[in-house]
């Protein structure tokens, strides 16, 4: 029962925050903040509870109730280590997004926080759903509020960016819907049970050709979201035009739903087709790493620059997922988390700078270290995270990914490693252009406020923690990764945390 409650909690919080605007605009902020703080506490509490290892029984919680029984659609949520990590990250970055908007958003405040909470609710749903129809539903739920966030509170070119984001995501999402429906019928015809249930659809038998086509449908949605070059071009516009909170959620969380989809659906549902596609997948990943890095180096808009670094970093996800081994997948999961944190932090810094000097053009910046040493230090930390300095979380992610990828391909791994040199070039360029050198324009900047420190310092602590002691995260997903690589073993077993959540689960078919 806790799982649907979490989603409802966020949605209800969103509605109340919207209504509260009538009373007082700053009440909306507080409601959003408290709703997320409670949700964050919840996910942390679950994480504490799961310490005991259950072998291959990965399910911590489950909730299953028929929704549209005639079509075999269930409201089926389940939580495993991977979902749990993603949820924790969602709430953590959600809090950062709310805090960073505190003074930035002054127009239609209530509706803003409504959209923030609804997009987070959609993301939560995506990370929990075990029913493909419901998955598609949540996939859309996170799209629309994000569209509003960009088009209402974005920068100058926001309409263009919002439509572009919408069309890319929607078009690729429709391909996924086709594939979902296709899978539904293929499975239904073969077995006689028409269902959208994830566990039943696993191990569906189909001809290689069908498998390939269906996988491409899923893949389309996920690699556009991730994004993979050449489907990335919505991202720089959306990221740079969105308000800070929007960029944080986009880069930190929405991209991760693409990565999550690859791990949760593409590989387990289509192990054969995915293995066939693997060399192409890895090649696309490496292309993204290099192409994104070269483009990032040329940008003059700070947010656009950071956006292209995301393209580059997400290439590692693609490389790692299709390397098909547990080392690389551990790296991918680490990359999902650490990239969320480090890129989120860079967008927050860009937002803080924009609030102070009202420009994102790095050619007009420079020499800010003298005035804002605290911000400079934090900027330095995250620039280093972005170039993969050991001791920070991103290194662990990239190293494990490459170590795993090396087993699969030597040439591509070497090329990906070259990407690390390119990453050095663009990361150092950020630091140089913003904080070092001399300023040609006389800006006066106050250093970070207490609120901003409260956002950024925890992010620094987490990125260092993940760099020197990532073990808790790795233990949390260890079994999920083993199962992903052996999808025949994925079973909806009795969840480990609480029994009352599965009362309805009994009705559901166990193979």
Partner 1 sequence: MKELLWLIPALPLAGALTLILAGDKLSRATAGLVGCGSVGLSAIITLLIGFDFLSSPQPYHQLLWSWMAVEGFHTEFAFHLDALSMVFLFVITFVGTLIHIYSTGFMVDDDGFARFFAYLNLFVCAMLILVLADNLLLMYLGWEGVGLCSYLLIGFWYQEEKNGYAARKAFIVTRVGDTSMAIGLFMLFQAFGTLNIQELMTHASQTWQVGAHAAVVIAFLLLGGAVGKSAQLPLQTWLPDAMAGPSPVSALIHAATMVTAGVYLIARTHVIFELAPDAQMAVGIVGAVTLLLAGCSALTQYDLKRVLAYSTISQIGYMFLALGIGAWSAGIFHFMIHAFFKALLFLGAGAVIMLLHHEHDMFKMGGLRKKLPVIYWTFLIGSASLAAIPFVTAGFYSKDQILWLALAGEKGNPVFYAAALAGAFITSVYTFRMVFVTFFGHEHTHVGHDAGRSMTVPLIILAILSTIAGFIELPHTFGHVTLFSDFLNPVLPTVALKPELEHLEVLFQAIAAVVALSGVYIAYFFYVKQPELPTVIKKAVPGLHHLWYNGWGFDALYNTLLVRPYVFLSTLNKNDVIDKVYGGMVTFTQYCNGVLVRTQSGMMRWYVMGIVIGAILMLTLGLML
The residue count for binding partner 1 (CB under 8 A) is 56
Minimum separation from the CB atom of position 239 to partner 1 (A):
13
- Candidate segments 51-59, 78-86, 182-190, 397-405, binder of partner 1 by CB under 8 A: 397-405
Report residue 158 as tokens.
Answer: 């926001």
| 172: contact with partner 1 by CB under 8 A | no
Q: Per-residue DSSP letters for 434-478? A: HTSS--SS--------HHHHHHHHHHHHHHHHHHH--HHHHHHHH
| 411: contact with partner 1 by CB under 8 A | no
Instruction: Quote the CA–CA distance of 202 and 215 in Å, as a whole number.
Output: 13
Residue 129 β-bridge partners? 77
| Window 486 to 505, contacts with partner 1 (CB under 8 A) | none
C-alpha separations of 495 from 57, 59, 78 in Å: 8, 5, 9
Q: Residues 4, 54, 182, 437: which binds partner 1 (CB under 8 A)?
A: 437
| Window 96 to 125, contacts with partner 1 (CB under 8 A) | none
Closest CA to 169 of 121, 126, 233, 112: 233
Instruction: Quote the CA–CA distance of 59 and 123 in Å, as a whole number.
Output: 19
| 435: contact with partner 1 by CB under 8 A | yes
Minimum separation from the CB atom of position 427 to partner 1 (A):
9
Rank residues 266 and 329 by Cβ distance to partner 1 and give the closer one.
329
- Candidate segments 7-15, 149-157, 255-263, 386-394, binder of partner 1 by CB under 8 A: 386-394
Rank residues 279 and 390 by Cβ distance to partner 1 and give the closer one.
390
Instruction: Quote the CA–CA distance of 364 and 177 in Å, as a whole number.
Output: 45
Q: Residues 57, 210, 359, 377: which binds partner 1 (CB under 8 A)?
A: 377
> Across 343-430, where does the E strand assignment appear?
none
Q: Residues 41, 208, 230, 446: which binds partner 1 (CB under 8 A)?
A: 230
Minimum separation from the CB atom of position 417 to partner 1 (A):
5
Closest CA to 8 of 72, 88, 92, 75: 75
Minimum separation from the CB atom of position 321 to partner 1 (A):
16
Minimum separation from the CB atom of position 276 to partner 1 (A):
24
| 465: contact with partner 1 by CB under 8 A | no
| 468: contact with partner 1 by CB under 8 A | yes
Q: Which residues contact 493 (CB under 8 A, 6 or more apart)?
A: 57, 58, 59
Instruction: Quote the CA–CA distance of 86 and 230 in Å, as a whole number.
Output: 26
Rank residues 191 and 486 by Cβ distance to partner 1 and give the closer one.
486
Helix or strand or coil: residue 404? Answer: helix
| Residue matched to tokens 């028409």 | 194
Closest CA to 246 of 393, 398, 383, 354: 354
C-alpha separations of 256 from 71, 240, 497 in Å: 29, 18, 25
- Candidate segments 13-21, 184-192, 293-301, 345-353, binder of partner 1 by CB under 8 A: 293-301
Using CB under 8 A as the criterion, which residues of the chain lie in contact with partner 1 when the complex forms? 164, 229-230, 232-233, 236, 294-295, 297-300, 326-327, 330, 367, 369-370, 373, 377, 380, 384, 389-391, 395-396, 399-400, 402-403, 406-407, 413-414, 417-418, 420-421, 424-425, 428-429, 432, 435-438, 468-471, 474, 478, 481-482
């Amino acid at each position: 029962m806790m799982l649907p409650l979490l989603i409802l909690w966020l949605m209800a919080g969103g509605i109340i925050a919207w209504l509260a605007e009538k009373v007082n605009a700053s009440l909306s902020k507080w409601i959003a903040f408290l709703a997320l703080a409670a949700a964050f506490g919840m996910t942390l509490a679950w994480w504490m509870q799961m310490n005991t290892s259950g072998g291959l029984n990965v399910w911590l919680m489950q909730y299953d109730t028929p929704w549209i029984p005639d079509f075999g659609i269930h409201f089926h949520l389940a939580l495993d280590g991977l979902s749990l990590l993603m949820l924790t990250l969602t709430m953590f970055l959600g809090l950062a997004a709310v805090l960073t908007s505190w003074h930035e958003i002054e127009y239609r405040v209530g509706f803003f926080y409504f959209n923030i909470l609804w997009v987070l609710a959609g993301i939560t749903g995506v990370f929990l759903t075990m029913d493909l129809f419901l998955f598609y539903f949540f996939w859309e739920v996170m799209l629309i509020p994000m569209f509003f966030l960009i088009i209402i509170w974005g920068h100058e070119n926001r309409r263009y960016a919002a439509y572009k984001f919408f069309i890319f995501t929607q078009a690729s999402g429709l391909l996924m819907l086709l594939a979902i429906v296709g899978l539904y019928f293929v499975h239904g015809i073969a077995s006689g049970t028409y269902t959208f249930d994830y566990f039943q659809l696993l191990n569906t038998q189909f001809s290689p050709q069908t498998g390939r086509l269906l996988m491409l449908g899923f893949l389309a949605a996920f690699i556009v979201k991730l994004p993979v070059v050449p489907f990335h071009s919505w991202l720089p516009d959306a990221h740079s035009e969105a308000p800070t909170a929007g960029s944080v959620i986009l880069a930190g969380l929405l991209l991760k739903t693409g990565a999550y989809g690859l791990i949760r659906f593409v590989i387990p549902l289509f192990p054969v087709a995915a293995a066939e596609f693997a060399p192409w997948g890895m090649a696309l990943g490496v292309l993204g790493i290099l192409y994104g890095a070269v483009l990032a180096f040329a940008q003059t808009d700070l947010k656009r620059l950071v956006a292209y670094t995301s393209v580059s970093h997400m290439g590692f996800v693609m490389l790692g997922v299709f390397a098909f081994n547990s080392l690389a997948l551990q790296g991918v999961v680490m990359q999902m988390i650490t990239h969320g944190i480090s890129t989120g932090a860079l967008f927050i810094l860009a937002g803080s700078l924009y609030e102070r000097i009202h420009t994102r053009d790095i050619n007009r910046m420079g020499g800010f270290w003298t005035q804002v040493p605290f911000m400079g230090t934090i900027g330095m930390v995250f620039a280093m995270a972005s170039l993969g300095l050991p001791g920070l979380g991103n290194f662990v992610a990239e190293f494990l990914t490459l170590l795993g990828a090396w087993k699969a391909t030597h040439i591509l791994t070497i090329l990906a490693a070259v990407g690390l040199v390119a990453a050095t070039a663009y990361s150092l360029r950020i630091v140089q252009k913003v904080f070092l050198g001399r300023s040609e324009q006389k800006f006066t900047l106050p250093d970070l406020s207490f609120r901003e420190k409260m956002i950024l310092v925890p992010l620094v602590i987490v990125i260092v923690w993940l760099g020197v002691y990532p073990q808790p995260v790795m233990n949390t997903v260890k079994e999920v990764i083993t199962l992903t690589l052996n999808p025949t073993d994925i079973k909806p077993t009795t969840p480990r945390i609480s029994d009352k959540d599965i009362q309805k689960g009994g009705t559901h078919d166990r193979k």
